[in-house]
Amino acid sequence: MDTITLTSVSDNFVQAVQEKSRSDLSRCWHCLCCSGGCPFAKDMDFFPNVIIRMVQMGLKEKVLTSSAIWLCVGCNTCSMECPNAVDMAAMMDTLRRMAIEEKVTIAEPAVLSFHQKVIDSISRYGRTHKLEIMMRYKLSEKDFFSDMDLGLRMLSRRKLDLMPSKVKNKQQIQALFKLAEDLS
């Protein structure tokens, strides 16, 4: 794991994150319960509580370019461990959003790409069409061969439908994407 070096510090970063995520990060006493419970902490460049520390210190760029914010799946396991009711998953949501808005280098582009394929699918059908999501994801990642046998096994067991399950009222779905802009 990297050590944290204080280089460029952003003063209002912690306030912005707290406001957007509606979570009070000052409650965190760095007991590491969250990081101990997080099933993905060992795959992250910084443990979840270290991300909080870095937010507190104003290390905006380091936080927004970290892999941790993308490997967090929002499972809330950490919140069940946290003695201080820190809303880690909400903080991570906010950080991902900021990373996209600020156009920083995304540490886990494949994760973002997958999320975007899912959202594209919802925009097309109102529901998720797994086969198409996988195909489009594989195309964009130029990864054609991994999981090929798995895909075939799933098709043969009819786990993957060829045709999507769709919402009939397409206009309403499109309207939701407009509403979304207003809500974020």
Partner 1 sequence: MTFSHKELNYFPGCSLATTAKENNASLKHFLEQFDIRLTEIPDWNCCGSSSTHSIDSGLALALASRNLFLAPADKPLLIACPGCYLRLGDAKWTLNMNQAKRNKVEKHFGQPFQSDLQLLHFFELLADMSHSGLFKDLPGRLKGLKIASYYGCMLARPPRLNKMPNHYGLIEKTMTALGGDPVQWGFSNTCCGTFLSVSRPLIASNLVNRIMKAAIRSGAECIVTACAMCHLNLEIRCAPENRIPVFHFSEILSLARDGKPSREWLNRHLIDPAPVLKTRWQV
What residues line the site for partner 1 (CB under 8 A)? 23, 39-40, 43, 71, 73-77, 79-80, 82, 85-87, 89-90, 93, 96-97, 100, 108, 110-116, 118-119, 122, 126-130, 134, 137, 146-147, 150, 153-154, 157-161, 165, 167-169, 172-173, 175-177, 179-184
If one counts every other C-beta atom within 10 angstroms of the C-beta of residue 85, the result is 9
The yes or no reply on residue 106 touching ligand SF4 (CB under 6 A) is no
The yes or no reply on residue 153 touching ligand SF4 (CB under 6 A) is no
Of 138, 131, 133, 135, whose CA–CA distance to 120 is shortest? Answer: 133
If one counts every other C-beta atom within 10 angstroms of the C-beta of residue 112, the result is 15
Q: Pick from 57, 75, 154, 176: which binds ligand SF4 (CB under 6 A)?
A: 75
| Contact predicate 17/25, CB 8 Å | yes
Name the burial class of residue 91, with classes exposed (0-12), middle (13-18) and buried (19+) by CB atoms within 10 angstroms of its CB.
buried
DSSP 157: T
Tokens of 166: 């769709």
The yes or no reply on residue 73 touching ligand SF4 (CB under 6 A) is yes
| Residue 97 binding partner per list partner 1, ligand SF4, none, with a CB distance cut-off of 5 to 8 Å that depends on partner kind | partner 1
Q: Pick from 14, 55, 82, 99: which binds ligand SF4 (CB under 6 A)?
A: 82
